[in-house]
């Protein structure tokens, strides 16, 4: 078949009206459209959340540009060809994480960055957000599925090493996200349901142990969630104020730039982690529902791509990336609405900040690549 | 590809599809939860959170009313308000929170002067109950340079503010405090008593005197503004404002120039001067010397300065005019003689032969006259003019306790007749019952003798002596004794007009014959203007007639526990000099009572001061008592 293809003359290819520019660019419109809508809505809310700041919008636009470029490039890469570099990426990531623990810089009692001498500083944990699902998918793809207990345990170890290193920084939000992305791969690798149930039971049993190793400020966040009124001016402030912001928005909201909670500084982190509270205050439940609808669009498209992917590596990866995106949402919205503890997870594609946007768009790019891979194969088949 | 392999692949794919459907189910479920949560907050709890957001945004701020001003009778400002700047801390906003207090104070100390007593008072205020995010004053009366120093360092002084407020200011700081009282910082005890709403933004309250008595009127009614604030409490804009109602302005009968003159006359002395307007009962002057400055009490006196005032053996904090209980001595003789003739114990022409002493029984104790060898034949007139003690021993003995005390009571002794000086004392008008109760003894004839010359158990405050003399000058006509002349321009003749309780209201003194008044008045004029009068030197060469009576009170002893050096003992054992009188004699405009502690005889120590006061009041250039120029200076 390959030989036949190679032998088809270029003129024939031209006459047969080859794949459109869109198909050749490997971009998936069904994924791109909701992402662009989310970004546009995000910029509108960001302008308000950053205190009517055009500068913040401009900077964010630039980041979106870089992120889109990253997505485009990622979409062109055939992930199967990338597979062999995956373990290298993983090892580099782990080494960098160890480096952070040894030489890292940071603030508020957390070491998260590595300072490049004479250059910018960066957060190695972002790299792991992609490296972990890739590595676990690569590992399990090479093994018989459903994976045996031994292979499952190895895969689990691959997940837990970076998770623990990042939790040690400490950066609870990121370690939860990375842990989730790895576990999802194992789950979609076909881990037997009895092990799934067992793992959930074990995790529940491990909760008290986790409590013991948590930092005081992390314990404080959990306690605050259970009873925010116990310290309304201290640890409970964020949750109380964001609930007030959301609740006071009502069905239709107070109007753009009219949110009192955000514009009078009662609400913390209005342009980063708590930005959905600004949306909820100014655009009401309707605004929230619009955003949730767009997110749902992305998630369902991600699941469809995963469902149609043919090789185990691609579909495990696609499903894991989609569900990780979902975890982002749940942790952020759950935190801001007072259902989950305050852990620093941004609202995907909306919160101000470069790294998370780039990482997320790279994973969107991977999804597009996976889709394009199967499409091109289908195209090839047709021909 | 082998079939079995294909089959395994198909099974794996099926399994994967099932997992995807499972994941979709979880996503739908969780989206349901998240949307449900949002809907719960935004629909069901909407009203609650909307209220909370409004409460966040809007704050009701009280606005203190401006305290009413106090003027003298000519419209001169006695108590005003002026802006002072103080540096305050908001403990919740300090770097490091409440624990940062000491650091911030240390930081401020490197910029401006803050002493230990400031810090001590600050810490005390910090412990008192207060609203969160309210500021606590650290130091008052910043000068311009200190304000500038704090302002330029504002960026490193988080939670530190310079606040301006209107505080009481007394332009006449010297010698007026015993008449006016003063305001000071509200303390915990007062806080519990005051209306928490009306005083929510008020920091000062009347502590003493007029400032205390008229507190409710002077304070005014608190105003409010609804402001929009951000989370750091900064006011962004005012949404609604209800202006406070300023306190009422009060004019007193006090004459600031006369008061200042009286202060000057008592400079370096211990004693008191009270001057009354006999036509109204208003207090023209009320001086107790030595005195102290009231302004230092407004913003908080240092404990060292206060200690010095409290420990001084000159007793500057003691209000002699209202609370000094002195033997009135011979100043009561006009009232005693009036009692004797009005009760017909003696007839107005009664005379005695004065040998210089008096004996109750043959060979008994000698009650001596002040003049050795006596005054010869003495009638009522001469008894007053020359202040003949023997005459009063005689009529006092004839009357006994009851007529004397009942007449003195009609003239206000033994009672508080001033309406608006809450600190005034009753002193002692001793009756038989009083002596039984407080001395556990019967009333002896000797007690009547002592009382007839204003000594013994009898005591009176300078205000009471002035009041008694006013009734005498008015031929029995009473007015309510009071500081206040008018409030907001409305004349006040009795404090019951303002809804307050009047003090003891005495009936006008009616005698059996009006001519008795004239007899006494004639004698009191002769005290000043005849060549035998005890105060003739003070009455000499005056362009108007004065009626008066001198008194010389023996100092009975010095308390055992007080330590004095010999010189001081000698000084403190000298007689008190007293004088009461009025002028012009026939048409009284001013009544005075003067006591100079340990000043010696009344003729030499007190009467000359009275003459100077009368001159100052009656002969003052550009005297325009009829005209009230307060309107002009009211601003």
- What confidence score (pLDDT) does residue B572 get? 81
B72-86, B453-467, B552-566: least confidently modelled range = B552-566
Average pLDDT, chain A: 85
Residues of A in contact with B237 (CB under 8 A): none
Instruction: Please give, rounded to a whole number of angstroms, the shortest distance from the CA of B200 to a CA of chain A.
Output: 23
Q: Could you tell me the residue ranges of all domains in chain A?
A: 27-382
Residue in B closest to A293 by C-alpha: B31
Please report the pLDDT score of residue A382 as a whole number.
Answer: 47
d(CA B531, CA B534): 9
Please identify among residues 110-149 of chain A the ones whose CB lies closer than 8 Å to any CB of chain B: 145-146
Residue B39: per-residue pLDDT: 95
Q: Where are the domains of chain B?
A: 67-252, 323-591+601-609
- Of A190, A197, A117, A203, the closest CA to residue A163 belongs to A203
For residue range B514-524, list pLDDT tens digits in order: 999 999 999 99
B313 by Cβ neighbours in 10 Å (0-12 / 13-18 / 19+) ranks as: exposed
Cis peptide before B435 (omega within 30 of 0): no
- For range B160-184, the mean pLDDT: 90
| Residue A333 contacts B where some CB pair is shorter than 8 Å | yes
* Cβ neighbours of B26 (radius 10 Å): 13
> Across the interface, do B38 and A187 touch by the CB < 8 Å criterion?
no
Residue B71 pLDDT more than 90?
yes
Q: Distance (Å, rounded) from C-alpha A324 to C-alpha A332?
A: 12
Chain B residues with beta carbon closer than 8 angstroms to that of A247: 41-42, 45-46, 48-50, 52-53
Mean per-residue pLDDT over chain B, rounded: 88
Residue A114 CA to residue A102 CA, distance in Å, equals 10
Q: Which residues contact B603 (CB under 8 A, 6 or more apart)?
A: B534, B535, B537, B538, B550, B552, B577
DSSP-derived pairing of the beta strands A105-107 and A110-115: antiparallel
Distance (Å) from the C-alpha of residue A23 to the closest C-alpha of chain B? 26
Beta bridge partners of B577: B552, B596
More confident residue, B107 or B270: B270
Tell me if B19 and A188 make a contact (CB, 8 A cut-off): yes
Of A244, A266, A288, the CB nearest to B38: A288
- Angle of CA points B505, B507, B509, to nearest 5°: 135
Residue A355 CB neighbours (<10 A) = 16
Q: Provide the pLDDT for residue B454.
A: 93
How confident is the model over B444-470, as a mean pLDDT? 94
Read off the pLDDT band of B2 (50, 70, 90): low
User: ipTM value of the model?
Assistant: 0.90
pLDDT at site A2: 47
Cα B393-B396-B399 angle, rounded to 5 deg: 150
- Which range of A158-167, B236-245, B586-595 scores highest in mean pLDDT? It is B586-595
Write the pLDDT tens digit of every residue in B258-294: 999 999 999 999 999 999 999 999 999 999 989 999 9
Residue pLDDT, tens place only, B24-45: 999 999 999 999 999 999 999 9
Min Cα distance A26 → chain B (Å) is 24
Q: Cβ contact (<8 Å) for B43 and A285?
A: yes
Instruction: Verify whether the Cβ–Cβ distance A251 to B43 is below 8 Å.
Output: yes
Alpha-carbon span B136 to B121, nearest angstrom: 10
Residue whose entry in the numeric block shows the structure tokens 């979106």: A64
Cα B181 from Cα B169, distance rounded (Å): 12
Residues of A in contact with B56 (CB under 8 A): 241, 244, 260-261, 264, 266
Q: Which of A268-282, A287-301, B418-432, B555-569 has the lowest mean pLDDT?
A: B555-569
A vs B: CB pairs below 8 A: 123
pLDDT at A10 over 60: no
Cα distance from B251 to chain A (closest Cα, Å)? 48
Cβ–Cβ below 8 Å for B15 and A265:
no
Q: Is the dihedral of CA A103, A105, A110, A112 positive or negative?
A: negative
- Judge whether residue B93 has pLDDT over 80: no
Query: What pLDDT was estimated at residue A345?
Result: 87
Spell A167-183 as b/e; 16+ CB within 10 A means b.
bbbbbbbbbbbbbbbbb
B133 pLDDT above the threshold of 60: yes
Q: Write out the catalytic residue numbers of B.
A: 330
Q: Nearest residue on chain A to B19, judged by CA atoms?
A: A188
pLDDT in tens, B317-328: 999 999 999 999
pLDDT tens string B536-583: 999 999 999 999 999 999 886 544 445 556 667 778 888 999 999 999
Of the candidates A261, A285, A312, the beta carbon closest to that of B38 is on A285
User: Which CATH number does the domain B67-252 belong to among 3.90.1150.200, 3.40.190.10, 3.40.50.10440, 3.90.1310.10?
Assistant: 3.90.1310.10
CB-based contact A330 B12, cutoff 8 Å: no
Q: Is the pLDDT assigned to residue B100 strictly greater than 80?
A: no
In contact, A277 and A267? CB cutoff 8 Å = yes
Task: Compute the nearest-CA separation of A380 from chain B (Å).
Answer: 20
Task: Give the position of tokens 């002969």.
Answer: B619
Among residues B74, B244, B83, the alpha carbon closest in space to that of B169 is found at B83
A235 touches chain B (CB under 8 A): no
Q: Indicate whether this model's pTM tops 0.80.
A: no
Chain A partners of B94 at a C-beta cutoff of 8 Å? none
**Residue-wise pLDDT tens digits, A204-247:** 888 888 787 777 777 777 777 677 766 666 667 788 889 999 99
What percentage of chain B has pLDDT greater than the value 70? 93
Q: Do A247 and B45 touch (CB under 8 A)?
A: yes
Predicted confidence at residue A193, as pLDDT, reads 86
Is the C-alpha dihedral spanning B367, B371, B375, B378 positive or negative? negative
Q: How confident is the model at residue B143 (pLDDT cuts 50, 70, 90)?
A: confident
Residue A62 dihedral angles phi and psi, to the nearest 5°: -60, -45
Confidence band (pLDDT; 50, 70, 90) for B186?
A: confident
CA–CA separation, A179 vs A129, rounded Å? 9
Mutate to test the interface with B, among A247, A259, A311, A317 (most CBs of B within 10 A): A247
Is the model's pLDDT at B488 over the cut of 60?
A: yes
Which of B177, B214, B262, B254 shows the shortest CA–CA distance to B615? B262
CA distance B473 to B475: 5
Contacts of B5 in chain A (CB under 8 A): none
Check B57 against A312: CB less than 8 A apart: no
Q: What is the pLDDT at residue B633?
A: 40
Structure tokens at B126: 């910090």
Q: What is the pLDDT of residue A79?
A: 84
User: Which residues have CB under 8 Å from B340's CB, separation 6+?
Assistant: B346, B350, B395, B398, B399, B403
User: Does the pLDDT at position A132 exceed 80?
Assistant: yes
CA-to-CA dists, residue A66 to A228, A294, A347, B446, angstroms = 39, 22, 18, 114
Closest by CA to A242, choosing from A224, A218, A217, A216, is A224
Nearest to A246 among B20, B42, B232 (CB): B42
Spatial separation of the C-alpha atoms in residues B500 and B212, rounded to whole Å? 13
Give backbone dihedrals phi and psi of B563, rounded to 5 degrees, phi first: -105, 125
Residue that the structure tokens 């399994």 belong to: B15
Has residue B63 got a pLDDT over 50? yes
Name the residue of chain A whose CA is nearest to B17's CA: A307
What local confidence, expressed as pLDDT, does residue B631 receive? 41
- The minimum CA-CA distance between A16 and chain B, rounded to whole Å, is 31
pLDDT tens-place string over residues A294-326: 999 999 999 999 999 988 899 999 999 999 999
Q: What is the DSSP string of A264-301?
A: TT-SSSTTTTTHHHHHHHHHHHHHHHHHHHHHHHHHHH
Q: Cβ contact (<8 Å) for B230 and A265?
A: yes
Q: Using a CB–CB cutoff of 8 Å, tell me whether A188 touches chain B.
A: yes
Coil, strand, or helix at residue A90?
helix
Give residue-wise pLDDT tens across range A108-117: 566 777 777 7
Residue B625: the pLDDT is 45
Per-residue pLDDT band for A376 (boundaries 50, 70, 90) equals: low
Q: Is B300 exposed, middle or buried (0-12, 13-18, 19+ CB in 10 A)?
A: middle
B46 min Cα distance to partner chain A (Å): 5
Does B323-591+601-609 match B67-252 at the fold level? no
Per residue in B216-235, pLDDT (tens digit) is 999 999 988 888 877 766 77
Q: At residue B441, what are phi and psi to the nearest 5 degrees?
A: -150, 160
Of residues B415 and B6, more confidently modeled: B415
With 0-12 / 13-18 / 19 or more C-beta atoms within 10 angstroms meaning exposed / middle / buried, residue A213 is: exposed
Query: Which stretches does DSSP call E strand in A68-213?
Result: 105-107, 110-115, 121-122
CB contact under 8 A, A261 and B56: yes
A29 Cα distance to chain centroid: 20
Average pLDDT, stretch B124-136? 73
The whole-number pLDDT of residue B272 equals 96
Chain A contact probe: residue of B5, B11, B56 with most A CBs at under 10 A: B56
CB atoms within 10 A of CB B585: 20
Nearest residue of chain A to residue B37 (CA atoms): A337
Q: Which of A200, A236, A248 to mutate to test the interface with B (most CBs of B within 10 A)?
A: A248
CATH class given for the domain over B323-591+601-609: alpha beta
A interface test, pick of B14, B52, B53 with most A CB neighbours within 10 Å = B53
Instruction: Say yes or no for a CB contact (<8 Å) between A250 and B41.
Output: no
A250·B43 Cβ contact <8 A = yes
Q: Which among B26, B27, B39 is the top mutation candidate for probing chain A, defined by the most A β-carbons within 10 Å of its own β-carbon?
A: B27
Q: What is the pLDDT of residue A9?
A: 52
């Amino acid at each position: 078949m390959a030989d036949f293809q190679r032998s088809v003359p270029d003129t024939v290819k031209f006459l047969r009206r080859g794949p459109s520019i869109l198909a050749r660019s490997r971009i998936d419109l069904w994924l791109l459209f909701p992402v662009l809508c989310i970004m546009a809505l995000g910029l509108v809310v960001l302008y308000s959340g950053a205190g009517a700041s055009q500068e913040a919008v401009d900077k964010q636009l630039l980041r979106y540009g870089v992120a889109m470029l990253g997505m485009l490039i990622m979409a062109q890469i055939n992930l199967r060809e990338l597979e062999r570099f995956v373990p290298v990426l993983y090892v580099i990531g782990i080494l960098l994480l160890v480096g952070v623990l040894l030489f890292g810089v940071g603030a508020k009692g957390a070491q998260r960055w590595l300072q490049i001498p004479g250059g910018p500083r960066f957060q190695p944990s972002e790299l792991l957000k992609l490296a972990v699902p890739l590595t676990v998918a690569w590992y399990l793809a090479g093994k018989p599925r459903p994976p045996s207990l031994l292979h499952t345990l190895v895969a689990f170890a691959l997940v837990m090493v970076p998770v623990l290193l990042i939790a040690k920084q400490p950066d609870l939000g990121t370690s939860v996200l990375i842990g989730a992305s790895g576990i999802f791969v194992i789950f979609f690798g076909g881990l037997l349901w009895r092990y799934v149930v067992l793992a959930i039971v074990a995790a529940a049993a491990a909760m008290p142990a986790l409590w013991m190793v948590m930092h005081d400020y992390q314990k404080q966040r959990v306690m605050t969630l259970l009873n925010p009124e116990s310290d309304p001016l201290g640890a409970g402030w964020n949750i109380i104020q964001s609930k007030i912001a959301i609740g006071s928005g009502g069905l239709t909201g107070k109007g753009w730039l009219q949110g009192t909670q955000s514009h009078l500084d009662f609400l913390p982190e209005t342009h980063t982690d708590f930005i959905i509270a600004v949306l909820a205050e100014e655009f009401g439940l309707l605004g929230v529902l619009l955003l949730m609808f767009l997110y749902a669009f992305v998630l369902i498209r991600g699941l469809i791509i995963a469902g149609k992917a043919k090789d185990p590596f691609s579909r495990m990866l696609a499903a894991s990336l989609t569900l990780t995106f979902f975890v982002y949402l749940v942790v952020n919205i759950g935190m801001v609405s007072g259902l989950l503890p305050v852990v620093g997870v941004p609202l995907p594609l909306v919160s101000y900040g470069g790294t998370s946007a780039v990482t997320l768009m790279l994973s969107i790019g991977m999804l597009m690549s996976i889709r394009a891979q199967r499409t091109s194969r289908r195209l090839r088949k047709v021909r | 590809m082998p079939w079995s392999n294909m089959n395994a692949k198909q099974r794996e794919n099926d399994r994967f599809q099932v997992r995807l459907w499972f994941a979709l189910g979880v996503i739908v479920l969780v989206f349901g939860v998240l949307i449900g949560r949002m809907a719960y907050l935004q629909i069901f709890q909407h009203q609650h959170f909307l209220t909370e957001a409004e409460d966040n945004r809007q704050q009701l701020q009280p606005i203190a009313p401006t305290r009413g001003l106090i003027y003298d009778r000519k419209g001169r400002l006695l108590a005003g308000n002026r802006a002072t700047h103080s540096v305050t801390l908001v403990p919740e906003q300090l770097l490091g929170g409440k624990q940062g207090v000491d650091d911030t104070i240390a930081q401020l100390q490197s910029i401006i002067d803050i002493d230990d007593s400031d810090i001590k008072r600050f810490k005390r205020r910090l412990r008192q109950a207060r609203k969160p995010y309210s500021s606590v004053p650290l130091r008052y009366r910043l000068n311009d340079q200190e304000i500038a120093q704090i302002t330029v360092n504002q960026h490193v002084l988080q939670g530190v503010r310079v606040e301006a407020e209107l505080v009481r200011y007394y332009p006449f700081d010297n010698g007026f405090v015993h008449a006016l009282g003063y305001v000071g910082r509200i303390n915990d005890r007062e806080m519990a008593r005051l209306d928490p709403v009306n005083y929510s933004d008020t920091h000062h309250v009347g502590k003493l005197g007029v400032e205390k008595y008229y507190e409710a009127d002077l304070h005014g009614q608190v105003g409010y503004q609804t402001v929009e604030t951000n989370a750091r409490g900064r006011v962004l804009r005012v949404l609604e404002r209800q202006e406070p109602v300023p306190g009422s302005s009060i004019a007193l009968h006090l004459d600031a120039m006369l008061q200042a003159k009286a202060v000057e006359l008592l400079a370096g002395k211990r004693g008191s001067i009270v001057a009354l307007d006999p036509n109204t009962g208003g207090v023209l002057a009320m001086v107790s010397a030595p005195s102290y400055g009231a302004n230092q009490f407004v913003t908080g006196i240092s404990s060292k300065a206060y200690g010095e005032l409290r420990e001084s053996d000159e007793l500057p904090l003691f209000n002699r005019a209202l609370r000094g209980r002195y033997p009135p001595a011979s100043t009561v003789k006009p009232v005693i003689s009036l009692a004797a003739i009005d009760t017909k114990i003696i007839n107005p022409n009664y005379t005695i032969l004065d040998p210089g002493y008096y004996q109750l029984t043959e060979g008994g104790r000698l009650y001596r006259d002040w003049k050795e060898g006596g005054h010869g034949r003495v009638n009522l007139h001469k008894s007053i003019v020359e202040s003949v003690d023997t005459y009063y021993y005689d009529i006092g003995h004839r009357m006994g306790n009851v007529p004397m005390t009942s007449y003195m009571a009609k003239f206000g002794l033994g009672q508080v007749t001033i309406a608006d000086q809450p600190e005034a004392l009753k002193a002692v008008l001793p009756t038989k019952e009083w002596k039984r109760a407080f001395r556990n003894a019967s009333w002896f004839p000797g007690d009547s003798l002592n009382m007839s010359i204003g000594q013994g158990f009898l005591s009176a405050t300078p205000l009471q002596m002035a009041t008694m003399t006013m009734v005498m000058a008015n031929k029995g006509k009473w007015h309510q004794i009071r500081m206040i002349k008018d409030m907001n321009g409305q004349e006040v003749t009795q404090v019951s007009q303002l809804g307050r309780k009047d003090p003891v209201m005495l009936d006008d003194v009616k005698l059996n014959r009006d001519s008795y008044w004239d007899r006494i008045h004639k004698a009191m004029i002769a005290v000043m203007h005849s060549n035998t009068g005890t105060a003739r030197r003070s009455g000499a060469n005056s362009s108007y007639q004065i009626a008066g009576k001198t008194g010389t009170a023996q100092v009975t002893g010095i308390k055992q526990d007080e330590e004095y050096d010999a010189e001081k003992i000698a000084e403190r054992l000298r007689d008190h000099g007293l004088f009461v009188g009025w002028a012009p004699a026939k048409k009284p405009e001013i009544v005075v009572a003067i006591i100079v502690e340990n000043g010696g005889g009344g003729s030499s120590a007190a009467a000359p001061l009275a003459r100077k006061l009368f001159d100052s009041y009656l002969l003052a250039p550009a005297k325009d008592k009829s005209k009230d120029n307060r309107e002009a200076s009211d601003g």
